Amino acid sequence: MPNIEETDQSSRITITKDLEYKYPNDLDLHPRSEFHNKLKTKILDRARQSNAAITSRADSWNDIDRVMTTYIEQDDDEVDIKNEDERKPTSIVFPYSYAIVETILSYLVAAFFQEPIFRYEGVSPEDELGAIKLEKVVDLHVNRLKVALNLHTMFRDSFSYGFGAVVPTWTVKKGRKTVLKERGFWSNLRRGFVREAWDREVLNDVTLFEGNSLINIDPYLCLPDPGVSIHDVQDGEYFGWGDRDNLTNLLEMEKYGDGEYFNVAYLRDVHNKQSSIFTIDQSDRDTRSGGSWRSLHTNASGINHPTDVLYMIVNLMPDEWGLGKGYYPEKWKFALAADDVIIQAMPLDLDHDMFPVAIAAPDFDGYSSTPVSRLEILNGLQGTLDWLFNTHIANVRKAINDMLVIDPYLININDVKNPKPGKIIRTRRPAWGRGVEDAIKQLQVVDITQGHIADANFVVNFMQKIGGADDAGMGSLRQGGPERLTASEFVGTQSQAFSRMERVAKIIGLQAMQDIGYMFAKHTQQLMEEDVYVKAIGRWGPTLDELYPDAVEKGRMKVTPYDLAIDYDSKVRDGSVPGGNFNEIWVKLFELMATVPALQQKFDIVRTFEYLAKMTGAKNVDEFRIKAMPDQQVLDQADAGNVVDINSITGG
C-alpha cells in the first residue's frame, strides 16, 4: 500500500503509513476513523468529569506531601543563613504526622502480612482440598510478585489522601528460556539410550511465570465516578486512572499481548505524548524528590519517550456505544494513549464481573467520592506544631548572636566584628585613659518563645489522641511522674491503642482486602494455564497429612487448573496482630487445664496450646507437630534399623 498522509486539526498525530492492524471484534479503530474519534470523545468526557473532582483536592494533598517529606522551601533570608554557616538550623516540618502514619502502617503490616495474606475455605466437603490448593497458589503469586509492597503503598495512600486504590490484574511474564536436550544414540548392545552430550537450546516467548499482581493508582491520577461514594466503587458507571508509561514498554505489551493492544506503533510519530488532562502536574512530589517526571516531557533531546495512558473501564450498553448489539450493560476496558490513540478496547469478560479495582478508605464518611484523610484532619495541628518549633529556633538563633550598641568614636569596630573567641578589642585614641564602661553595651534579649516547646508537647498530645497512635502504640513508655510504669498500666494503655488501630484494620479488610482476595481467586480459576507445584506446609499441613496424604509428594503438591474448579469463601482477617490479644489469664487457664483431668476430657489441650502460641506471636507452630507413622511403616523401619524401641534407650 502506498504511503498516505492524513492530518486532523483535533489530533497531534500524523499518519504517514497505514500499518494494517487487525482490530478486535471487527471494530474500525483506525486512529482516523469516525468511530475511533467518537469512542475517544466518550472516554475523554468521563475522564474530565472525574478529574474535576480530583483537582479540587490537589492543593490539600500537596500540603500532605510536604508534611510527609518534611520539606520546606527556604526563603532568601534562610538561604543567606545557610550560606554563612550550614550548621545553623532553619525552618523544618516537625515530622510528627509522619510518626503517626508510620505507627499505624506498622500495625497494618503486622495485622495483614501474615502468611498466607489471603485465605480460602471450601464451601462443601469436596471443595476442601481444592481450597487448600487455591490458597497455596495465590500465596505463591503474592510472594513471587511482591504484592505486599503494593498493599503497603495502598495503606499509606489511604491515610495520606483519604483513599488508596489498586488494580488486581493477571500478569504473564514471558521471555527466553534455556533448556538442555540429550544427544546420543540407541544401543542394542546396552539395550538403551546412550547419552553423548547435552545440547543447549534457547526457547523464545516462553511463559516464565503467571499469576496475580497489583497495580497502584496514584490518587492524583485516579478517576473514580464522582456519582458514588468511594467505598461503593463497584456501584459506579465507570472507573479510570492515568498511567505514566513509556513507548518502549507499550510496544512490548503490544508484542506479547495476544491482540489486546494495537495502534501503539502510530505513537512513534507523536512528538508530545502527554495527556491534556494531566498537562499540569498536580503533584509537587518531583520538586522534593530530585527527579522530575514532567521534565522528561519537555526534554528536547529526544532521548526519552514518556507516554501518558488513560485507562477507563466503563459499564456500558454495547448498542449505544456501537460495540455490539447487546442491550444490557457490559464492562469494557479502554486505553487511550496521548489523548489521541486508542490502544486497547475489549470487554473484560471476567468471571467476577466487577470493576477490577479495590479501594481502602479507612476514614470514609459513607458519602464522599474523595473523603478527607486522617493527615488532612491533623494538618491544622501539624501547622501549629511547625510554627511553635520554628519560631523558637529562629528566636534562639537570633539570641545567640551578639547584639551590641557601640560608640564607634571610642571602639575599634573591626575588632568587635572578629567572631573568634579570646579576641582583643582596642579602644580608639580619644578613649585612652577614660575607661570602657560606656563605649560598648550588650542589649537585653528576652526569649518570648521559651514556652513554645511546652506548648508543642501539648499539641503533640492532642495529635496522638486524634490520630489514634499514642506513646504505647509507638513503643514509647510514659515519662515522668512519681511512680514507675506498672505492667497492668502498660498493657491497658497498649490494648486501648490497639483497639483503635484494630478498627482501622477491620475497615480496610472489609473494603479492600476482601475484594482483592476474591478477585485473585477468580483470576486464578479463570486464567491459570500452567501446572504449578506448591509447598505442603503451613496452616494446612496437618490437614493434608491426615486427610490427603496421597496429594503430597516429598512435601509438595501439584496443582492443575482443573483442581481449582471449586466453590470457596474468601476469609478476611479480623484486624488483630499476633500478640495483640495476648492475656496472662490464658496462661493460667492453660496451666489449670493441664493439671485437671476433667477439663482435659471437655477441652482439646493441644488446640488450646496452639491458639495460645499464636496469640503470643508464634508464626510457625504447625511445623513442630509430630507426624505419626502407620503401624506397618513403623515395623518396616524397625526392621531396617531406622527406628528403635525407646525402652532400649532409657532402660525402662
Domain ranges of the chain: 24-76+143-371, 578-652
Lowest mean pLDDT among 63-77, 99-113, 556-570: 63-77
Residue 300 banded pLDDT, cuts 50, 70, 90: very low
Position with higher pLDDT, 318 vs 400: 318
Q: Which amino acid is at 636?
A: D
Lowest mean pLDDT among 64-73, 134-143, 319-328, 420-429: 420-429
**Residues 337/343, Cβ–Cβ less than 8 Å:** yes
Q: Which helix (H) or strand (E) holds 524?
A: helix 514-527
Beta-sheet pairing, 222-224 with 238-246: antiparallel
Residue 425 banded pLDDT, cuts 50, 70, 90: confident
**Residues 469/493, Cβ–Cβ less than 8 Å:** no
Interaxial angle between packed helices 96-112 and 374-399, expressed in degrees from 0 to 180 and rounded to the nearest 10? 140
- How far apart, in whole angstroms, are the C-alpha atoms of residue 363 and residue 160? 11
**Residues 47/277, Cβ–Cβ less than 8 Å:** yes
Which residue bears the cell 454495547? 318
* 452: its cell numbers: 513554645
Lowest mean pLDDT among 22-31, 400-409, 473-482, 504-513: 473-482
Is 80 exceeded by the pLDDT of residue 340?
yes
SS (H, E, C) 316-356: ECHHHHCCCCCCCCEEEEEEEECCCEEEEEEECCCCCCCCC
Position with higher pLDDT, 614 vs 241: 241
Is 80 exceeded by the pLDDT of residue 188?
no
Position with higher pLDDT, 183 vs 524: 524
Task: Give the highest mean pLDDT range of 48-57, 203-212, 539-548, 583-592.
Answer: 48-57
Question: 15-23: long-range contacts (C-beta < 8 A, 24 or more apart)?
Answer: 15/266, 15/269, 16/269, 19/265, 19/266, 21/262, 21/263, 22/259, 22/262, 23/262
Which residue bears the cell 523544618? 92
State whether the Cα torsion 43-44-46-47 is positive or negative: positive
354-378 pLDDT tens trace: 999 999 999 999 899 899 999 999 9
Q: Mean per-residue pLDDT for 614-642?
A: 68
pLDDT the model gives residue 205: 77
Percent of the chain clearing pLDDT 90 (strictly above)? 33
Lowest mean pLDDT among 173-187, 239-253, 532-546, 580-594: 580-594
Is 90 exceeded by the pLDDT of residue 224?
yes
Lowest mean pLDDT among 188-192, 344-348, 473-477, 551-555: 473-477
pLDDT the model gives residue 419: 64
Position with higher pLDDT, 123 vs 183: 123
556-582 pLDDT tens trace: 889 999 999 999 888 888 777 766 655
Average per-residue pLDDT in the chain? 81
Q: Mean per-residue pLDDT for 433-460?
A: 76
Q: Mean per-residue pLDDT for 640-645?
A: 68
pLDDT the model gives residue 261: 93
Residue 413 banded pLDDT, cuts 50, 70, 90: confident
Is 60 exceeded by the pLDDT of residue 548?
yes
User: 75 CB contacts (<8 Å, ≥6 apart)?
Assistant: none
Position with higher pLDDT, 84 vs 643: 84
SS3 534: strand
Is 60 exceeded by the pLDDT of residue 160?
yes
Is 80 exceeded by the pLDDT of residue 471?
no
Q: Measuring CA to CA, how many Å separate 621 from each of 13, 120, 546, 614? A: 62, 20, 17, 7
Residue 594 banded pLDDT, cuts 50, 70, 90: confident
Q: Mean per-residue pLDDT for 172-176?
A: 83
